[in-house]
Amino acid sequence: MIEFKDVNKTYPNGVTALKNINLTIDQGEFVAIIGLSGAGKSTLIRCINRMHDINEGTLMVNGVDVGKLRGKQVRSFRRKIGMIFQSFNLVTRTSVINNVLISTVPDLAWWRKGLGLFPQEKKVDALEALDKVGILDKAYNRVDQLSGGQQQRVALARTIAQHPDIILADEPVASLDPVTAKVVMDDFKKINKETNMSILINIHHVELALEYADRVIGIRQGEIVYDGKSEEVSQEVLNQIYGSVENIPKADDPEEADI
């Protein structure tokens, strides 16, 4: 369970990204976070794994007060939270399976990682994760030989192999074409249903958010202005989130940087 209680976040430059956030997300929910660029979508999910610190309030994740974690406690905590980025964050000059394995054994000596000397059980885990996202046949290909959609599926497999409780995804399909984006979103939905992992996706495209998420959270200027079932999102709700019909992103609109 993730609980935000009166959470505020202001950056050193004075920009207030989150204002009095109160939010509870139960285990196994698939949640899409939508809103204008700069609304605070990325900040919201990045506070969950302590990529950003909050200034006020309390953020609890599975009973852990995230703000009180220090040093090794933060690193240990993050191992139960997978993070997927728009840019994939893969090592492109090595194999797909090595990219998945690197995240599964954080305490392994660096030279073992470099030489690919991973425990056999971890290799099995990695292959099973690649199978779940449909790219087992690419396990021994170099990452730079893969398409963008395949690379994002490698990133998802890498996260699955960690066996996290929560997956956070920051614009995971932003750089993909519409067809490939739907394939990747299908994988997210499948993993959510099969494993009961909580999945929170900061997503630009409203159509994908409504199609795949069970719950939608709308943010405007750092405040939650909608929190409810995806099927209950109306045009009036979207206008409240985006200000006007003209501001609602279309499927082929380019993404802009969020905070």
For 12-48, how does the pLDDT look when each residue is reduced to its tens digit (9 = 90+)? 999 999 999 999 999 999 999 999 989 999 999 999 9
Show me where the domains of the chain are located.
Answer: 2-80+164-247, 91-158
- The mean pLDDT value for 208-214 works out to 95
Give me the long-range contacts of 20-23 (CB less than 8 A, separation at least 24): 20/57, 20/223, 21/57, 21/223, 21/224, 22/224, 23/217, 23/224, 23/227
User: Is it the case that residue 153 has pLDDT exceeding 90?
Assistant: yes
Question: Which residues are CB-neighbours of 125 under 8 A, at least 6 positions away?
Answer: 104, 161, 163
Class of the CATH-defined domain 2-80+164-247: alpha beta
Q: Rounded to two decimals, what is the model's pTM? A: 0.90
**DSSP label at residue 99:** H
Listed in sequence order, the residues at least 6 apart from 99 whose beta carbon sits closer than 8 Å to its beta carbon are 90, 91, 143, 154, 158
Pairing of strands 166-170, 198-202: parallel
Which string of DSSP letters, residue by residue, matches 207-242? Answer: HHHHHH-SEEEEEETTEEEEEEEGGG--HHHHHHHH
Distance CA 28, CA 39 (A): 25
pLDDT for residue 245: 76
Checking if the pLDDT of 222 tops 80, the result is: yes
* Long-range contacts (CB closer than 8 Å, 24 or more residues apart) made by 19-23: 19/221, 19/222, 19/223, 20/57, 20/223, 21/57, 21/223, 21/224, 22/224, 23/217, 23/224, 23/227
Those residues with Cβ within 8 angstroms of residue 131's Cβ, 6 or more apart along the chain or in another chain: none
Using CA atoms, how far apart are residues 203 and 217, in angstroms rounded to an integer?
11
Other C-beta atoms lying within 10 Å of the C-beta of residue 27? 12
In the predicted model, is pLDDT for residue 107 greater than 70? no
Q: What is the pLDDT of residue 102?
A: 83
Q: What is the mean pLDDT of residues 166-179?
A: 92
Cβ atoms of 246 and 64 within 8 Å: the answer is no
Where is pLDDT greater, at 113 or 194? 194
Specify the pLDDT at position 181: 92
Instruction: Say whether pLDDT at 148 is over 70.
Output: yes
Cβ contact 206:238 at 8 Å: yes
Residue 116 clears pLDDT 70, i.e. is over it: no
What is residue 203's predicted lDDT score, i.e. its pLDDT?
94
Helix runs in 164-215, H state only? 178-195, 206-212
Mean per-residue pLDDT over the chain, rounded: 90
Contact in structure between 185 and 208 (CB atoms under 8 Å): yes
Which pLDDT band holds residue 86 (cuts at 50, 70, 90)?
A: confident
Write out the H or E segment, with its range, that includes residue 168.
strand 166-170
